[in-house]
Structures are given as structure tokens and as C-alpha cells.
Structure 1
Amino acid sequence: LEGPQNHPGAKPFHVVSPVLESLPLSKAVGTKVFMKLENVQPSGSFKIRGIGHLCQDAARKGCRHFVCSSGNPPRAGGMLLRNLGIRCGVPQPCSDKGQSLGCEGCVLSPYCPLSPQVWDDANSRAQELVKTEGWVSIHPFDHPLVWEGHASLVRELKDSLEAKPGAVVVAVGGGGLLAGVVAGLHQVGWQDVPIIAAETHGAHSFHEALKAGRLVTLPDITSVAKCLGAKTVAARALECARECRVISQVVEDTEAVRAVERFLDDERMLVQPACGAALAVLYSGRLQRLQSEGRLPAPLASVVVVVCGGSNIHTAQLRALKSQLGME
């Protein structure tokens, strides 16, 4: 162990993120839209809530070496592990971001040059490290403490909003955020609030599981939204669909990227395509379609969209994605 011996039972690593009304999004859907801005977390995404909570618990029990495969480290991992005084991953810096945050090891990620481009493959490598090095694996989405950490997001919504929202829009990758939102809705007595679960085509493992009534493994992740790239969602995600009203929506990559670009113009914030999937539900008219089909009430009191993250995107990458998708 190198670095400061900070007390692992201290306050959470995440901040209380802002809840702001978006006039452009409200105009687009004809309903008041509030943004829960998880992209302003110190790590750049919501994942610091759940992964931070799990890491703190493990550190409190004596763990001193972590490895985590996820779509949003190394930034989150570098910050968490620096604050806990714990090394992570492999003994090489994974990126300039990781180095700038004092991360001496590497958090395996689809965005890390040492890792595969699909989360499942990155996770396989993480499990190999755990066996060979004796480190503790921190699962990025399939763990009760991760869900418990993410549930804090909904408790903050309860404190910020004057009234219960009519619906919550979230992006789904492995299902950790969905599980946390469902846990939080139960905690605050909002379990009747519908959840719109957004995925991109080619990373739509939750949608396929809902359709089949069982877990389904996609043959490959073909979407550009790599942070949604879990071939199989957590079993808990399917349980959530039985406990709350979860409406699955699958958008195309082009819709997600177009939503990212429009959101940048509307709100002056650059987010990644995974977040664009949730925004696309609002920009594309899908929410109004759900209302016209009777699957959502009309009118709605308000809608909350979880702006889940933007740590793995920059303007050059946005241009490259548009070119790749033939959008220019």
C-alpha cells in the first residue's frame, strides 16, 4: 500500500448533484423536464455513488488492492483509490486522466488502452488479475452495495423537487443505475413512478431480456455507446421490472449522438452517447408516443432525466462518431 491512509469510513465521495429545469427539453416534450446532473460528479458520472460506496465498505473491512472493470473509470477509479490510499488494477498508468488524479495502477475499462472495447471482455481480464494478484474485484453494476450507493440519487431528488415526478428517464447498460433508482424510489415512497429505460441498439441486452422474460446474452456489442456495453444485464435488472413499472426504449446510435450534439447546443454540456440514449427518448418524440399509446399518463406532472455522465467524451470524439455513423 502506498499513499495516504485516509479513513475509509468518512463521508461519501459523491456530491449532491444539481437538479435543474431544462427549458429546451421541456419545450421538446411538452412537459416540464428536470435534469439530474450526474455529469458534474467529481468523477464525471453517477458511478462514483455506487462504486464509491462499495469501495469504502471493502476498505473498511481491510481491502487494500482493487480491480474494477467499468465504462467510466479511470477517472472515477483514480480519484476513489487516491482518496482511499489504495492501488488498483495493473502496475502501469492507464491514461493521462488516471495519472493526473494520482492513480498509480489501472482501472480496467473499455476506454483503457490496456483493456478490450467490450465490458464483458474487460471484466474477464479483471477476474484474471484477481486470481493471479490476489486483489479484490469491485463489480461496477452487479452488487447490492452499488445499488445502495446509486439510490442516494433518488433521495436527493425527493429533497429537491416540490412534487413527485411523472416519470424518470435513465440509461441502462449493466443495470446498476436502474437497480439503484428502483431502490431509491422504494425508499422515498415513489415506487409508482414509471421508469423509462433507454438503450442503444447494439447494446440493448436489457430490452432483449425483458422481451424474453429471462437474461439474454447479446452476441456482441455493436453500438458506439460503449458505456452501455454489457452483453448481459444483471439479474437484478429483470427483478426491478417486476417491482416497478419499467418501460424499455431502444434508440439508434444516430439518435443518441444527435441528442448529444443537441444537448450541447441547448445546455452547453457535452455528454457521452450512453447519456445520449436517455436524452434521445425526449428529443425524438418517444415520450409523447408513449403517452399517445396510453403507456404513460397525459399530461405528466414532470419528467426527470438522469444526465448520467460525460467523462469519456470530447469534441474531436463527437466529430469522429458523427463521421463513423455517416451523419456529416
Structure 2
Amino acid sequence: MTSFADAARSTTRALRDLFPRTPLQRNDHLSRRFGADIWLKREDLSPVRSYKLRGAWNAMRKVRAANPAQRHFVCASAGNHAQGVAFACRHFGVQGTIFMPVTTPQQKIDKTRAFGGDAVRIVLTGDYFDQTLAASQSFCAEKGAHFLSPFDDEDVIEGQASVAVELLDQLGRAPDLVILPVGGGGLASGVTAYLRAEAPQTAFRFVEPLGGASLTAALQAAEPVKLKTVNSFVDGAAVARLGDKTFAHLSWIRPEEVLLAPEDRICVTMLDMLNVEGIVLEPAGALSVDVLPELAEEIAGKTVVCITSGGNFDFERLPEVKERAQRYSGVKKYFILRMPQRPGALKEFLAMLGPEDDIARFEYLKKSARNFGSVLIGIETARAENFAALFAQLDAAAFAYRDITRDEILAEFLI
């Protein structure tokens, strides 16, 4: 019987007909910062800018080998899996029907169509992914097509294992630590299955977005469970339920090996990689780099590989990413100021601002002729500690204010 490692190597060799291996690059900036030997496995540089092509292509290849008459494949995805399936459909010359939520950004729809060309048809249905998934599976059964899961499929897992085959060959030795992003678990399942067999001394850390911790929930319950709510910002890893097959591959993980990355902190990492290194990462693609500060003591002097899993980032989201990064870093705050309705009050407030403070938002919220009016104010500054001086002056002048920067409900309506 062929071992998983042998099958993964065979798949990797066959994959070379599709695209060359993605780079494994030593990152000097991160290596100096953390006193470690840090390498990035650049899955953001695949033909579809994510690793998803590997699993989709391998699953399609296996299905066609077993049943050459199967020429219709279906998937449900709003992102990287859709693009991988589209690319693979065009490669094999088969028909693909790709279901996407109605709310999918036009940029992702256009990219999927570009990769698939005439080989794919895109169906927009459902406001939420669960509705889209149900529609795709119903269509698949009706048409006798083959449904391609984004992660919960053994052939998909085997395809994602090619990432590990490549990185071990490229590095030429076993890394001390591999850091993996986790959504549905397909990438983590494939990479760990291969490296546990071929490089048993290598340790792992797994990273989930704080608002989509499906692996953490599954480990706690000893089985996959559906999260009640999911924050969709890290769209490439915001999965409500880990797969059954992927959990079978990952159930050995200790809870302390899983780290949670706050969505706003991921924005800081994305901007750092863009501004310092010129590397464009989507939120899910930045997960493995984002947790390096938490692991600083552990990784010092060691060889670490971070899987940068994707770079499908719509630059129309850049203002949002910058805003969230500033708020997380403490250099931008929003507050409601209770402004006295008297001559000179506004001038008095403005005089409190320092040379590094800038007003980014100023909006009167006064609704009636009262002695005080509420003002929504957004302040940007160069250093987070500048706010302490501003707030001290406000307190001394008896200006009433409320910091709403991290008040999710008020921020949603006002900011």
C-alpha cells in the first residue's frame, strides 16, 4: 500500500505539469527582528495567488482518472477555492459550475472568470455562504456532477501536502518549526501528515482568526462543531466548521499549539509586510507571520517556516485595513466629546491637541438646543502615548468624553 508521503511526492511531481514550485524565501527583515532563521513559503505566488489550486487540481485529476466520463465539476466558494477550481477546469478541459454568494465582490468574480474562461459558469445565489453551498449541492445532485470540497476531501488534502514536499526539498533540511494558517484544515492536514512522516523532529504551530476559531472549538469538543458566529474579515480562513476528514488528520494537536490572531492585529501585519517587504498578503495569508511576536522567545535561534497561504487582496479594502491597524496600534481613536455650547469651547479643545495630533473625523451629533452638544471626534497621532496627554488635559478642563474606539456596537453605527 502506498504511504501518504509517497502519494504526496507523486502528486507533487505530477503538479509540475501545471506550475513550478512556489518560492521558499528567507526573510531578512523578520529574521533580524526575531533573531531566528525565518523563511516564507510563498503560496501567494502560485498562478492563482493561493495554495488552493493544488488540492482542487489533484482532486479533479483523481476523479477523472477513476471516471474519465466525468466532465462536470461543481464547487461553492467566494474566493481562492473558486479560482483554483476554475484554473483546473480550464487545464483539464472540463466544465465547471461555480456557485458564489450574491455579495461576492466583483473583483473575485472577475478573477474566477478570467482563470476559467469558457470552461466555467458562475452562478450567484444566496446572501450567505450556507445558502450558496446548499444550492450548489442540490444542483450537483440534479446534474450528476462531481462536487469539489474546498478542504474536506482526502484528494484535496493530498494535493495540499505538496506544499510540504516542496519546502522540505527547497530548505534541504527539516525546519525546527512550521507555522500554518487554519480555516477548514485542508492545508494543515496535508502539510502535517507529510512532515510528521518525513521530518518527525519538526514542531508545528497553528493559527486561526479570533473570529473563526473552528479548530479550537473542535479540539475542545473532541469533534467538529459549528461556530455560532464567524467574523468574515479573514475570508480565506473564516470557516464555521472544521471538516470531518480534516479533524481526523488534526485531532492529535494539543490546544496550546493553536494560536488565535485578532482581526485588527492581522491588519498591522499586512501593512508591515506591504510597506517594509513589498509583499501583498490577504488576511488569511498573513496569519502565520502575525503570530511571530507571540513566539519570539520560543523561536530565537531556530529555523522557522511560515506558510503565506494567499495574496488575493482587493486594494479597495486597503483603507479599511489601515483604519483597523491604526486602531489596534493605538494611534487612532474615536470618542464622543460633550462640548459646552459657549463661545470659545471649540477653540479651547483644539488648543489641547499636540503637534503630532490630527483630526480625522469631526461631526456634531447635537439634536436639540441644549447647553451641551455631543461631537464625534476621530484623532490620529504619531505615537499611542500622545493620547494620555490629551485625555489628561480633557480631564483637567472638565470636558466629558467617552472613548468608543473598541465599542463594537457604537463603532458600527457611528464610525
Alignment of 1:105 onto 2:115: no
Distance in structure 1 (CA, Å) of the matches to 2:98 and 2:166: 35
Letter in 2 for 1:192: Q
Amino acid at match of 2:132: A
Structure 1 gaps of 5+ residues are 1-8, 292-297
Aligned to 1:295: none
1:309 paired residue number: 310
- Within the candidate set 67, 74, 85, 1:67 is matched to 74
Separation of aligned partners in 1, 2:209 and 2:87: 29
Task: Give distance in 2, aligned partners of 1:287 and 1:103.
Answer: 46
Instruction: Report what 2:31 is aligned to.
Output: 26
Q: 1:144 Cα shift?
A: 0.9
CA distance in 1, matches of 2:207, 2:241: 15
Summarize the Cα distance change of 1:116–1:314 in structure 2 as closer, same or farther, 3 Å threshold. same
In structure 2, the residue matched to 1:38 is: 43
How far apart, in 2, do the equivalents of 1:248 and 1:208 lie? 11
Determine whether 1:79 maps to 2:118.
Answer: no
Deviation, structure 1 residue 147: 1.1
How many residue pairs match? The answer is 304
* Equivalent of residue 204 in structure 2, options 172, 179, 195: 195
Cα separation, 1, equivalents of 2:300 and 2:52: 32
- Inter-partner Cα distance in structure 2 for 1:199 and 1:278: 9
Aligned to 2:20: 15
Aligned residue number for residue 162 of structure 2: 152
Q: Quick check: 2:125–2:135 contact (8 Å CA) kept in 1? A: no
C-alpha distance in 2 between matches for 1:272 and 1:91 = 22
1:257-278 CA-partner distances (Å, limit 9, x unpaired) = 2111111123212111011222
Q: Distance in 2 between matches of 1:106 and 1:319?
A: 32
Change (3 A) 1:204 1:91: closer
Q: Which runs of 4+ in 1 moved over 6 A?
A: 91-94
Q: 1:32-74: CA deviations, max 9, x gaps?
A: 1001011111111011111110011122322211111233044
Identity of aligned residues (%): 24
The answer on whether the counterparts of 1:201 and 1:223 sit within 8 Å (CA) in structure 2 is no
Moved more, 86-95 or 242-251: 86-95
In the alignment, the residues of structure 1 paired with residue 25 and residue 272 of structure 2 have an alpha-carbon distance, to the nearest angstrom, of 17
Instruction: After TM superposition, list the pairs within 5 Å mapping 1:170-249 onto structure 2.
Output: 170-187=180-197, 189-243=198-252, 247-249=257-259
Aligned partner of 2:264 among 247, 254, 263: 254
Give secondary structure in 1 for the equivalent of 2:39: strand
2:44/2:285 contact within 8 Å kept? no
**Matched position secondary structure for 2:307:** strand
- Between stretches 225-234 and 83-92, larger displacement belongs to 83-92
Aligned residue number for residue 96 of structure 1: 110
Q: CA RMSD in A?
A: 2.7
* Structure 2: distance between partners of 1:12 and 1:22: 28
| TM-score for the superposition, normalised by structure 2 | 0.67
Structure with the higher strand share, 1 or 2: 2
Cα shift at 1:218: 0.1
Does structure 2 conserve the Cα–Cα contact (< 8 Å) formed by 1:98 and 1:106? Answer: no
TM-superposed CA distance for 1:27, in Å, is: 2.4
| 2: CA distance, partners of 1:243 / 1:205 | 15
- Matched-pair contact (CA < 8 Å) for 1:44–1:76: no
Amino acid in the other structure paired with 2:72: H
C-alpha contact 1:203 1:230 (8 A) present in aligned 2: yes
In structure 2, do the counterparts of structure 1 residues 304 and 324 end up closer, same or farther at CA, with 3 Å as the change threshold? closer
- TM-score of the superposed pair, with normalisation by structure 1: 0.83
- Aligned partner of 1:34: which letter? W
For 1:32, the aligned partner's letter is D
Q: What secondary structure, in the 3-state scheme, does the structure 2 residue paired with 1:228 have? A: coil
Q: Which amino acid aligns with 1:40?
A: L
- Kindly tell me: are residues 142 and 52 of structure 1, through their superposed partners in 2, closer, same or farther at Cα, counting changes over 3 Å? same
Deviates more, 1:241-250 or 1:73-82: 241-250
Q: Identify if the C-alpha distance between structure 1 residues 207 and 23 changes in structure 2 by more than 3 Å, giving closer, same or farther.
A: same
Query: Judging changes above 3 Å, is the alpha-carbon distance between structure 1 residues 23 and 107 closer, same or farther for their aligned structure 2 residues?
Result: farther
Give how far 1:171 is off: 0.6
- Separation in structure 2 between the aligned mates of residue 50 and residue 91 of structure 1, nearest angstrom: 18
Q: List gaps (5 residues or longer) in structure 2.
A: 1-13, 101-105, 333-415
Worse overlay, 140-149 or 218-227:
218-227
2:9 is aligned to: none
Q: Distance in 1 between matches of 2:156 and 2:275?
A: 33
Q: What does the per-residue CA deviation read over 1:130-187, in whole Å, with 9 as the maximum and x for residues that have no partner?
A: 1232211011101111111111111111211132111101110000001011122134
Given the superposition, is the C-alpha separation of residues 130 and 317 from structure 1 closer, same or farther in structure 2, using an over 3 Å criterion? same
